[in-house]
Amino acid sequence: PPENIAHYALLDENKQRVVGRYLSDLKYITTPIIVNDKIVGYLAVSKRDSLVDGYELDFLQQQTNYLWFIALAAVLLTLMVTFLLSRHLVSPVKQIANGMHRLTQGNYETKLTLERKDELGQLSEDFNTLAFTLAKDEQVRKRWLANISHELRTPMSILLGELEAMLLGIREPNAKNISSANDEALHLKRLIDDLHMLNSAELGGMHYTMQPTDMALLLNTIEQKYQVLLEQHNIKIYLLNSAKHITVQADKTRLLQLLDNILMNAVHYAQCTTISLTANNISIKGQTYLELIIEDNGVGVDQSHLSHLFEYLYRVDSSRNRQEGGSGLGLSICQHIVKGHKGEIAAEKASLGGLAIIIRLPTI
């Protein structure tokens, strides 16, 4: 065999070659051959001084090739996983960033469609909720500005027109014409006062003097107060108080203002003949509430308008007739008063056929 290959030889008991290559210039490792506890010969294998002297070189070369192949495969696999992972993470982030950029430009109709179950999916849902809220607030703001300008312009135009007519001699400056102009000025003043009250409520400027208030006495006061006024309008009021000795922490003046607004709405705009004021004691999630239900048998309100009744300057009458629809601020003020007492207010269809206003106030 070639010189760099190991040499093998069989020796007798005196270490003399029997068969094989047994060279004097090589060193051998001998292994005794024992038969019946007697050494009958030896197996000799030549030693190698370095790895290059045998098949180890081929083995190392093969292992080196394998390592290069494994390294290349690992690099390719890493690049592929990195690309897919970056695409999985960066793509939704770019969509969210682009959506935020569109929001900053006032495009509140932007909506993301990321069907994911991870944190980025939750972020996209929160983004869509934010965009929807901003779009809704923008619509409310535009309607608010349009309504405010209309409400202020209408009485001002009428007032200026009547004054100008009297100055030009078209109308006589008598008590009747001056009274008509004064009515428009008073309406304008009431509207400005209501706007100021709402603004104060939004800024936390509507103050409350909270003290224990017996609601039975308060409701009896309301019934007596409106008895004469309602009789003049051919309206009967019924007080059904099943919540005796109920006390709430409230500002009595604000509660009277709250009930005044609701009852006066019923008197002037509901076209009703009966008003029912019901007081009940209810429990919701361990908290006791006084529930007031004020309902009438008037014309009522369509279901589509019920959820908007407490919005600023919202009126069911699309023609915006102030004599029939009011200024649209009374129920907004009512909502602020109820929230100031940590309560809830809602509008529903009345069992009598008209409109029902439901108020819940936490009791002591």
pLDDT at 309 exceeding the cut of 90? no
CA distance 148 to 130: 26
**Coarse DSSP helix, strand, coil percentages of the chain, rounded to the nearest 5 percent:** 50, 20, 30
CATH code of the domain containing 264: 3.30.565.10
In this structure, the answer to whether residues 68 and 196 fall within a common structural domain is: yes
Name the band, by pLDDT with cuts 50, 70 and 90, for residue 315. Answer: low
pLDDT at 105 exceeding the cut of 90? no
3-state secondary structure of 111: coil
Q: What is the pLDDT of residue 19?
A: 93
Q: What is the pLDDT of residues 317-352, one digit of tens each?
A: 644 444 444 556 778 888 888 988 889 999 999 888
In this structure, the answer to whether residues 129 and 216 fall within a common structural domain is: no
**3-state SS string over 14-48?**
CCCEEEECCCCCCCEEEEEEEECCEEEEEEEEECC
Domain boundary among 183, 206, 229: 206
Q: Which domain holds residue 328?
A: 211-362
In this structure, the answer to whether residues 76 and 48 fall within a common structural domain is: no
In this structure, the answer to whether residues 216 and 202 fall within a common structural domain is: no
| Mean pLDDT value across residues 17-44 | 90
Q: What is the pLDDT of residue 130?
A: 87
Amino acid 104 reads T
Q: What is the pLDDT of residues 255-283, one digit of tens each?
A: 888 888 888 888 888 888 899 989 988 88
> Is 343 inside a domain boundary?
yes
In this structure, the answer to whether residues 243 and 354 fall within a common structural domain is: yes
In this structure, the answer to whether residues 240 and 346 fall within a common structural domain is: yes
CA distance 286 to 289: 10
In this structure, the answer to whether residues 39 and 65 fall within a common structural domain is: no
Q: What is the pLDDT of residue 56?
A: 66
In this structure, the answer to whether residues 344 and 236 fall within a common structural domain is: yes
> Is 82 inside a domain boundary?
yes
pLDDT at 313 exceeding the cut of 70? no
CA distance 299 to 324: 12
pLDDT top residue among 117 and 274: 274
Helix (H) or strand (E) holding 95: helix 56-104
Domain boundary among 165, 185, 206: 206
> Is 167 inside a domain boundary?
yes
In this structure, the answer to whether residues 171 and 102 fall within a common structural domain is: yes
> Is 2 inside a domain boundary?
no
CA distance 186 to 157: 14
Contact 350, 296 (CB under 8 A): yes
CA distance 122 to 92: 12
Core vs surface per residue 138-168: b (16+ CB within 10 A) or e = eeeeeeeeebeeebeebbeebbeebbeebee
In this structure, the answer to whether residues 167 and 62 fall within a common structural domain is: yes
- The closest of 325, 320, 280 to 299, measured between CA atoms, is 325
Q: What is the pLDDT of residues 182-236, one digit of tens each?
A: 877 877 787 777 677 666 666 555 677 889 988 888 888 888 888 878 888 888 8
> Is 231 inside a domain boundary?
yes
Of all residues in the chain, the percent with pLDDT exceeding 70 is: 86
Q: What is the pLDDT of residue 66?
A: 92
Q: What is the pLDDT of residue 111?
A: 83
3-state secondary structure of 357: strand
> Is 185 inside a domain boundary?
yes
> Is 1 inside a domain boundary?
no
pLDDT at 291 exceeding the cut of 70? yes
Determine the Cα angle at 108 with ends 105 and 113, to 5°.
110
In this structure, the answer to whether residues 35 and 145 fall within a common structural domain is: no
Q: What is the pLDDT of residue 74?
A: 94
Q: What is the pLDDT of residue 113?
A: 79
Domain count, the chain: 3
Q: What is the pLDDT of residue 300?
A: 85
> Is 3 inside a domain boundary?
no
| Mean pLDDT value across residues 305-317 | 75
In this structure, the answer to whether residues 255 and 336 fall within a common structural domain is: yes
Domain boundary among 185, 206, 227: 206
pLDDT at 55 exceeding the cut of 70? no
pLDDT at 143 exceeding the cut of 80? no
